[in-house]
Amino acid sequence: MKSLIIIFVFLMLVGSLAAQVEVQIESDTEQYEEFITAQIAMINSIGEFRETWVGGSAYYLGYGKIYPGNWTLVMQTGYLTFKNNENAEFGDDASLNAIPLMIGGRYYIFLDKIRPFLVAMSGINIITEKWTQGDIQKDHSVIRLNFQVGIGLSIVMMEKLEIEISGKYNSHLLEPSVPYNMTGMEVGLAFNWRL
């Protein structure tokens, strides 16, 4: 119940912030582009996190709005799943999954047929971790902070369709005593549909 309250409060804050940003930007000009994005990505774990979870995959759905000046507001959610390192001996039923709820921005270097961009996102992950190691069993869900930074390239294929590739550094707080210990490099392919 506590988790649901935290998620609800977070979504209300994000919605409020997005509405305030949108009102201020739209008051300057009415020209903007909107898009819906669907992305699939491969995650290569790095650092300490790789000792237990070697890599994973991510699936995202998002909404973006490009404003004059090439700035973009992006909101996305998705599903991340990780494969355990066999050397960690977590058993056959080991799993680590996360549902991210993120908001952030992009800066398109230029808006043409080829659209290179910088991206920064932040939010929360709802993480479910399950494993057994000897007599120790872990099966719990937690909410933790996350952020992503990276670069990408969007290519306009048709009037409404873009194909996008991106590379991002992900960092997620899994254990509060060890800052940003769930990390990885993410390479993704996305399809953007302009509204």
pLDDT digits (tens, 9 = 90+) for 130-163: 888 777 788 889 898 889 999 999 999 999 999 9
Give pLDDT, residue 46: 85
Please write the tens of the pLDDT for every residue from 31-55. Answer: 789 999 999 999 998 877 788 888 8
Give pLDDT, residue 88: 76
More confident residue, 165 or 3: 165
pLDDT band at 26 (very low <50, low <70, confident <90, very high): very low
Chain-centre distance for alpha carbon 54 = 18
3-class state of residue 111 by DSSP: coil
| Cα gap 123→106, rounded to integer Å | 15
What is the token pair recorded at 23? Answer: 């009102």
Percentage above 70 pLDDT, the chain: 79
- Mean residue pLDDT across the chain: 84
Q: Is the per-residue pLDDT at 114 higher than 80?
A: yes
pLDDT band at 182 (very low <50, low <70, confident <90, very high): low
pLDDT band at 11 (very low <50, low <70, confident <90, very high): low
What is the token pair recorded at 67? Answer: 């404003």
The residues, any chain, with a CB within 8 Å of residue 32's CB and separated by 6 or more, are 25, 26, 65, 66, 67, 68
More confident residue, 77 or 90: 77
Which runs of consecutive H residues, i.e. helices, occur in the chain?
Answer: 2-28
More confident residue, 46 or 57: 57
| Cα gap 134→78, rounded to integer Å | 32
Residue 192 host element (H or E): strand 182-194
| Cα gap 46→55, rounded to integer Å | 9
φ/ψ of residue 134, rounded to 5? 65, -125
More confident residue, 59 or 17: 59
51: burial class by Cβ within 10 Å (0-12, 13-18, 19+)?
A: exposed
Give pLDDT, residue 54: 86
> Under the phi-then-psi rule, with left for phi > 0, alpha for psi from -120 to 50, and beta for the rest, what region is 51?
alpha
| Cα gap 149→9, rounded to integer Å | 25
3-class state of residue 87 by DSSP: helix
More confident residue, 191 or 87: 191
Task: Using the structure block, give the residue that is written with the tokens 């039923």.
Answer: 93
Structural domains of the chain ordered from first start = 32-194 (2.40.160.20)
| Cα gap 79→175, rounded to integer Å | 20
Give pLDDT, residue 174: 65
